[in-house]
A and B are shown apart, each in its own frame.
Chain A
Amino acid sequence: MDEEKYTIIIIAGCLALIFLVMFLYVITSVYKSRNLKIENKLRLLEKQKQIDLLTAISKAEEKQKIEIAGQLHDEIIPIVALATSNLNSRITEFEKQGLDLSGIRVEIKSFSLLQENIREIIHKIVPLLFTSFGLLKAIELSIKQMNENPVNQGVAEFHNNTIFSGELPFSTNDQLTIFKICREVLNNLAKHSEYAYLKVSLEEVKDSFILLFLHDGKGVTNEEIDLLEEISTGMGLKLLKSRLILLNAELIYIKDDEVSSIRLIVPISK
């Protein structure tokens, strides 16, 4: 009888011990998993915070640039243009009276040069083709200019594969950001891919705005681009990334021996 009791006590003790170990294991696992979840959440929050900060900085920078361009366009250029025009008219009046002021006329040309330089700065910030003709036409004309550049040996074409021809569902600033992304992608392709034929096509303007760059040159993968962005001292790829973040957009790079591609996807918020 004592032996039986003793056995039961041992079994019960063992069971209790097993239960305790299991309980401790479960508690530790739950604790660990909770900690991991909190850590992940914190990491995500930190990442989101960084993205928000980057977006805010990019937005502020873009806004500031556009303001500078606006001030140059609205305040500085009119003054120089009017002064040039008035001076020219005055000189014409004096010349009609027989005075030779051709020397001063030559000097006035520097005003025109000044205007041209200011306009160049403006158009670097807000490209003229974009402001005058809109995003799609500006992309098409940028491609045309690439073809005309003797440095580029390849041929590039733009195709609109959608039936879309109306007003794009983005603000002007967002369209400008899309244009700058496209220009950067085109510049990179012209510089590094050595394509013989590049086809840029608008594929969709519904849930997303999708632009596809297909070429037969040297392709890259997303991993290679990430690595390049990390080691590169240039600003091109970093600016490209911050502009993508601004639009919540993505660039998908696919490398292929035959035809490589870059797909720009910009979500359209309804």
Chain B
Amino acid sequence: MKKEITIGIAEDHPLLRVGLVSALKPHKNIKILFDVSNGKELLENLKVIRPEIILLDIEMPIMRAQDVMQRINAKYPKIKIVIITAFFQKDYIIECFKLGAKAFLPKGDEVEKVLEVINIVHEKGIYIDTEISKVLTEELQNSNKKPSNLRLTKKELEVLNLICQGTKRKETAESLGVTLDTINYHMSNIMRKTNTDNVQSLIKYAIENKLINNA
């Protein structure tokens, strides 16, 4: 006999919520602890009763899904969130996973599919189908494509030299006769081109690559 799985449902469409509840109710290993229509109600319910899995519609009124997921992860890290959505846009999927989602469930999926996802998330902690894994792989490959060997312009080398000499950005701006915004812009672009994220690592990069005094 399968182990009982407790779930909570947060879906703002009454029709879909009722449909989901009535489709899952007959299955003996699923126990629905509550069904609510918005994020605020969901968090209120979690104060007293905690399911193992939450089926969360991401497009709900009153509270943004991002805030709801952040709070659930911070307060109840053991609860697994399955996103119910009809929208499979790359950035949207990635952000949801970053916020702690364990699976995506297309709206209007057959009850068998819903049960399969719930069971896999309960057993293995996560469910990623082919479509989602394609999106995640693509993102991972893109994030590795960082710029390399991008040449710095003459102006950028001038800015880099002054910064490496310890000149403050405001003074650099005055010395080059440009605005502070322009210097900030050049600094961001230099850091992007050199794959650095702070002045110390930039100076190290400049020394290693003999960029100082080359302007």
A148 and B87 CA atoms in complex are apart in Å by: 19
Output the least CB separation between A122 and chain B (Å): 9
Which of A81, A86, A119, A145 counts the most chain B CB atoms within 10 A? A81
**Interface status of B123 (Cβ within 8 A of chain A):** no
In the complex, the answer to whether A258 meets B182 with C-beta atoms within 8 Å is: yes
Output the least CB separation between A200 and chain B (Å): 10
In the complex, the answer to whether B108 meets A259 with C-beta atoms within 8 Å is: no
Output the least CB separation between A243 and chain B (Å): 22
In the complex, the answer to whether B59 meets A131 with C-beta atoms within 8 Å is: yes
In the complex, the answer to whether A144 meets B178 with C-beta atoms within 8 Å is: no
**Interface status of B131 (Cβ within 8 A of chain A):** no
**Interface status of B86 (Cβ within 8 A of chain A):** yes
Q: How many positions in chain B have a CB within 8 Å of any CB in the partner chain?
A: 37
| 8 Å CB interface, A65-100 against B | 73-74, 77-79, 81-82, 84-86, 88-89, 92
Q: Which residues of B contact A (CB under 8 A)?
A: 12-16, 19, 23, 58-59, 64-66, 86-87, 89, 91-92, 95, 107-112, 142, 147, 155, 178-179, 181-182, 184-186, 188-189, 192
Contacts A133-B65, A145-B91, A155-B192 known; 19 new A-B pairs at CB < 8 A? A78-B15, A81-B15, A82-B19, A85-B19, A88-B108, A89-B23, A89-B111, A123-B87, A131-B64, A132-B64, A133-B95, A155-B147, A159-B188, A197-B189, A197-B192, A199-B185, A256-B182, A259-B178, A259-B186
Q: Which residues of A contact B (CB under 8 A)?
A: 73-74, 77-79, 81-82, 84-86, 88-89, 92, 112, 115-116, 119, 123, 128-129, 131-134, 137, 141, 144-145, 148, 155, 157, 159, 197, 199, 201, 212, 214, 216, 256, 258-259, 261
